[in-house]
Amino acid sequence: MSTQRGSGRDPLVGVAAVLGAMALAGMLAIGLAWRSVDATTNVALQIPDLVSGGIGGLALVLTALALVSVQADRRARARERADTDDLLAELASVVATVRVPKAAR
């Protein structure tokens, strides 16, 4: 079963790759901020690096993780919807083959 019409490719794979790269960029920003803060002894010069790199990197990582969670939830709902449609189609075919005679109603 495919969640994307006309293609056997799972759309979550591409989205997860992009969001994984986004999370990796956030971790890189945190690492660079840490390195910059570690190299400076003046606290007044550390604050801008900490804010821009550390908090910005954390925001990137958390946003990426939240969007992966949303995409995974959408995928699960689409599969559930497809399973429900399959079940209803099978039920309709069973009902069509097992008709109750009018005299028995």
Three-state secondary structure readout of the chain: CCCCCCCCCCHHHHHHHHHHHHHHHHHHHHHHHHHHHHHCCCHHHHHHHHHHHHHHHHHHHHHHHHHHHHHHHHHHHHHHHHHHHHHHHHHHHHHHHCCCCHHHC
Residue 29 lies in a domain: yes
The 10s digit of each residue's pLDDT in 54-76 is 899 999 999 999 999 999 899 89
Residue 58 lies in a domain: yes
Domain range for residue 48? 13-94
Share of the chain above pLDDT 90, in %: 49
Across 81-94, average pLDDT: 93
Residue 8 lies in a domain: no
Residue 100 lies in a domain: no
Residue 7 lies in a domain: no
Residue 43 lies in a domain: yes
Residue 49 lies in a domain: yes
Residue 55 lies in a domain: yes
Q: How many domains does the chain have?
A: 1
